[in-house]
Structure 1
């Protein structure tokens, strides 16, 4: 919308207006928490303005009124509440050099279908006294409107005034008791403050209701708040420690990122994956091959297994199949035994001086692999032979 197409209208009945301002006003209704600012339909001043608009009316309806309320609420939420002064002095201060003190601030706005724009106001102490003394009875909004169509687009400000000029508004007395006895408005708590309280582990009865300053102070200096702050401090310190440890690890790796890992602490991923795959294969084989079959297969491959070993090896395989396989794989294969049924009936060729059967070279190798002395192994063989005799 080009700036030239917009105009201001101060809704009060002044004879000479800077910037071509028109005139009309609304009566104060202090016995109500919501004050009417604009009517719910097209309106005009007593003197016939706006004369430059076809039909001589400022245009407003439920659609444009709802948009106007949303715009004013967005500004109020951002801290830019609608200013109310005295007799539109904000617009006149540059001309007459006088101050333009505020009389009230618009906190919240609501468009009511078919009725108009309403606002909750926060009056200054001075304005309250003026209204109590009946020095001011009306307020007048300054509207921005489309100069061609007359559509109300925005509110610039508003003022307390004694010069009513709008049609269709009823006078109401300014009740001083409303200033002191009116229940406080439900203002939602600041979301940042609510987040801080949650971080401290503090709860409030109604997050939608702001706390009084005294209640908020008492909550923030409570033992619960101190405990929550200590917990937050601990988390921050823990984070700092973790950051330091990460930095130390990066320093160990080296600034170029090419430092070799310690082989005593780390293994290549390829090796790790190969071990995992082998273990999976062993498990799968164990599901289909019994311990007895594994021992028998080792005997068929020419690996000597004494009869006395079989109970021990069987127990080992039942508890750790991989350990049994490693034990049998580590034994040397004897060509003479390959494919032959092993028995314990082989007779020793001679006896040593102790009277124990002498061991063959293969039997000595088996004893060495089993980690027992040749003498003990020879005694074991002799015992087995006597048992079989």
Structure 2
């Protein structure tokens, strides 16, 4: 990914009725903002610093754009998380951060058909709500942040569900963002579910074989 400062003309989405989806898309607003569902407030007063942090965070990888934040849910629901596109470049503009998107053929067709109309950034922020970097972006139809929509004038949204006051306190103590805490918690719950599933399977096997669980576990351990 390369940093770039595009001109307002380059970053303006194509007019309604154009043949393809926009190349430059609005990812984050500048200043103080809050989600319609109450999350926030968040602050982004230095778009270029966020761009620099984002590029350092992703390294040589592009920023993924998925559908409906499936990247956040795939470990929990086991469903695939195909890319809708990739953010290849970021640029600061007076109204926030814009990204140059390279869409897949499938996503381009769905955007043109207005099956997906809005963008939803997942960003990491500190305890004060200051935006630090962008993790990924999603195509959504349930927006919460006021952004320039990709298919018409409208809104965008921010990712993971809000945490409780106790969970936010843990994040502050551990130096984690809410997104990082959410993913770690999802992994923990997934591992617990896997463990419970394995216990049920072990009991069913013991019942079919007519042996005790202790004997069965001993046999498993031996080989």
- TM-score computed with the length of structure 2 as normaliser: 0.55
What is the CA deviation profile of residues 248-305 of structure 1, one whole-angstrom value per residue up to 9, with x for unaligned ones? Answer: xxxxxxxxxxxxxxxxxxxxxxxxxxxxxxxxxxxxxxxxxxxxxxxxxxxxxxxxxx
Q: Decide which of 134, 140, 148 is 1:161's aligned counterpart.
A: 140
In structure 2, how many angstroms separate the alpha carbons of the residues matched to 1:83 and 1:108?
Answer: 12
* Contact 1:84/1:158 (8 A) holds in 2: yes
* Contact 1:82/1:107 (8 A) holds in 2: yes
What SS does the aligned partner of 1:66 have?
A: helix
What is the CA deviation profile of residues 99-141 of structure 1, one whole-angstrom value per residue up to 9, with x for unaligned ones? Answer: 00000101110122x3110110100111011112211001100
Structure 1 unaligned residues grouped into runs of 5+ = 1-27, 51-56, 175-389
Q: Decide which of 83, 107, 129 is 2:64's aligned counterpart.
A: 83
* Contact 2:67/2:138 (8 A) holds in 1: yes
Tell me the equivalent position of 1:143: 123
Tell me the equivalent position of 2:35: 45
Tell me the equivalent position of 2:191: none
Question: Size of the alignment, in residue pairs?
Answer: 135
Tell me the equivalent position of 2:170: none
For CA contacts below 8 A with separation 6 or more, give which structure has more relative contact order.
2
In structure 2, how many angstroms separate the alpha carbons of the residues matched to 1:162 and 1:30?
Answer: 20
Tell me the equivalent position of 1:34: 24
Q: In structure 2, do the counterparts of structure 1 residues 37 and 101 end up closer, same or farther at CA, with 3 Å as the change threshold?
A: same
Structure 2 unaligned residues grouped into runs of 5+ = 1-11, 16-21, 153-223
What is the CA deviation profile of residues 353-389 of structure 1, one whole-angstrom value per residue up to 9, with x for unaligned ones? Answer: xxxxxxxxxxxxxxxxxxxxxxxxxxxxxxxxxxxxx
1:101 maps onto 2:79 in alignment = no
In structure 2, how many angstroms separate the alpha carbons of the residues matched to 1:143 and 1:75?
Answer: 12
* Contact 1:75/1:81 (8 A) holds in 2: no
**Residue correspondence of structure 1 range 272-291 to structure 2 within 5 A:** none
What is the CA deviation profile of residues 53-104 of structure 1, one whole-angstrom value per residue up to 9, with x for unaligned ones? Answer: xxxx111102xx211112334566x531101100000010011110000001
What is the CA deviation profile of residues 205-229 of structure 1, one whole-angstrom value per residue up to 9, with x for unaligned ones? Answer: xxxxxxxxxxxxxxxxxxxxxxxxx
What SS does the aligned partner of 1:59 have?
A: strand
1:128 maps onto 2:108 in alignment = yes
* Contact 1:93/1:100 (8 A) holds in 2: yes
Q: In structure 2, do the counterparts of structure 1 residues 140 and 103 end up closer, same or farther at CA, with 3 Å as the change threshold?
A: same
Q: From the two aligned structures, give the one with the greater helix fraction.
A: 1
Q: In structure 2, do the counterparts of structure 1 residues 71 and 30 end up closer, same or farther at CA, with 3 Å as the change threshold?
A: farther
Q: In structure 2, do the counterparts of structure 1 residues 80 and 136 end up closer, same or farther at CA, with 3 Å as the change threshold?
A: same
**Residue correspondence of structure 1 range 170-189 to structure 2 within 5 A:** 170-171=148-149, 173=151
- TM-score computed with the length of structure 1 as normaliser: 0.33
Q: From the two aligned structures, give the one with the greater strand fraction.
A: 2
Q: In structure 2, do the counterparts of structure 1 residues 30 and 79 end up closer, same or farther at CA, with 3 Å as the change threshold?
A: farther
Q: In structure 2, do the counterparts of structure 1 residues 108 and 74 end up closer, same or farther at CA, with 3 Å as the change threshold?
A: farther
Q: How much has 1:40 moved relative to structure 2?
A: 1.2
In structure 2, how many angstroms separate the alpha carbons of the residues matched to 1:82 and 1:129?
Answer: 20
What SS does the aligned partner of 1:99 have?
A: coil
